[in-house]
Amino acid sequence: MAAGSASAAPSPRFIVGFKAGAADKANAAVIRERGNVKRKIGGMNAMSVELSAAAAEALRTDPNIAYVEADAVRFIPEMEMQVAAAGDGGIDMSPAANPSSGKEYFLGQRVPYGISMVQADQLPNGASRSGNRTICIIDSGYDRAHEDLNNNGTVTGEYDSGTGWWNTDENSHGTHVAGTIAAQNNNGVGVVGVLPASQLRLHIVKVFGAAGWAYSSELADAANKCAAAGANIISMSLSGPAPSMTEQAAFDALAAKGILSIAAASNAGTPAMRWPAGYASVVSVGALDSNKQWATFSNYNAKVELSAPGVNVLSTVPMNTATASELKVGATTYAPGPMTFSARATRTAPLADFGLGTSVNAAVAGKVCLIERGAISFGAKVANCEASGGVGAIVYNSLGGGSFAGTLGAPGSTIPSMTASAAEGAAMKAQLGQSATLTVRGDHYAGFNGTSMATPHVAAVAGLVWSYFPMCSADQIRTALGATAEDLGTPGRDVKYGFGLVRAKAAYDYLAANHCKN
């Protein structure tokens, strides 16, 4: 069953590798063992097959079969781990973006903090160079109708019988990744990406549907489709807990062809290795926050090679699928954080103290609940407010905590809800009884967390730098990025940061001085 199916979990499959010239005999052997071929892997003597474990053992003895291995599962890391920094469902937020000064980018746009962190705004004449590179994004698709992605150079893609057309995105993940790479520099609209000049060539291969998982056979096939489309760089914000010899062979072959593959280290916050980032032929990317500190969810091991922004990264999502929150109490306008699964509505009512929100209290009926973070989940707090007759909810941080993103855990709430920092909560405590207006509306941009968000920063920086030195090889670009990364943490390469923060201008200067010499 393909990743785009309605199945909530993957069913077991095997990859059957066959000897050169033995495709027909291998197919016959699979049929004999009552197997069901699900995918023939492009560019390889291999196919993905549904069959029993006993049948897999039988195939291993067939003289036409080279090997049989489990078809490992690959996930969007955020969905694999259901990442949250706290048990109540909240993730602390760093500053997502700053307004454009009009110098590097048109006024009216928000410039995500990662753009300057990776020095994407420091290269000369960037608008005219990136058209000589192609970045292939293997993910959940691309919202071609998005206001910040609908005119950003040449974008092509693939149709897949399991996941559908490349230019739709039921998951939001792929569109977010694409925005970090190539959101347009267009006056007054949205955000900008690392390569915003509408010159870059993108190729999209959609391996994830709404369920957020795929098989390693599908990833190997997708990577070979990237190569066939002329990709120089492959960006993969995905991972899985088991390696695959088929997948490794695919990426090793692509590296030999001069293609640079880049993947997320994953988000368990442990030393666990994840693949494809674990292969030597793939660059493994860890995540940093806006202060260049290691993100505590980012996996750390000897394979981590580069780091990039991955906490509260603001980027594009399919149109109107995100939420924007607005809050005014009395004469004071606040900047609240988002609450996933909040109802979209506007409510105005007196502000009332609801404590920790651990129980129903009729005293807040017809009022906006001001709730302190802690003790129970956000979903339970907001549900108690709603059961008490409250018309809106604000959950503020405790113990001096800053802004954060929350989640109710599931849809179903009928009142608008949002988050606030501890300082904002303290200020609102002094405004109890005043009129509070909460608005939660649809938006086209969202802040995401994960090594998935760090990966496209590295892929885009590689494309940006390489566009100035197209005569360099993929290995030379990889070496330059590592040699010029900002060393963070323990001096030298370490398990959390790798070589450090990827830097476009530093890599450009290195190559300008060394002329593609490692």
Which of the following is catalytic: 235, 284, 452, 467? 452
Which of the following is catalytic: 92, 140, 173, 467? 173
User: Cα torsion for 237, 108, 340, 266, to the nearest 10°?
Assistant: 20
Reading the block at residue 368, the tokens are 């906006």
Based on the residue annotation, tell me whether 139 is a catalytic residue of this protein: yes
Based on the residue annotation, tell me whether 452 is a catalytic residue of this protein: yes
d(CA 248, CA 235): 16
d(CA 118, CA 309): 8
d(CA 114, CA 99): 13
Q: How many CB atoms lie within 10 A of CB 27?
A: 18
Closest CA to 83 of 448, 456, 458: 448
HSE-CB of 11 using CA atoms within 13 angstroms: 13
CB 96 within 8 A of CB 113: yes
Q: Which helix (H) or strand (E) holds 307?
A: strand 304-309
d(CA 483, CA 163): 39
Reading the block at residue 411, the tokens are 């849809």
Reading the block at residue 346, the tokens are 């506007």
Question: For the sheet containing 345-353, what is the strand order?
Answer: 332-334, 322-329, 435-443, 345-353, 368-372, 392-396, 417-420
Based on the residue annotation, tell me whether 169 is a catalytic residue of this protein: no
Which of the following is catalytic: 139, 143, 160, 221? 139
Reading the block at residue 495, the tokens are 């398990």
CB 208 within 8 A of CB 163: yes
Closest CA to 258 of 41, 86, 473: 473
Alpha helices in 70-148 (DSSP H): 77-81, 113-117
What positions carry a catalytic annotation?
139, 173, 452
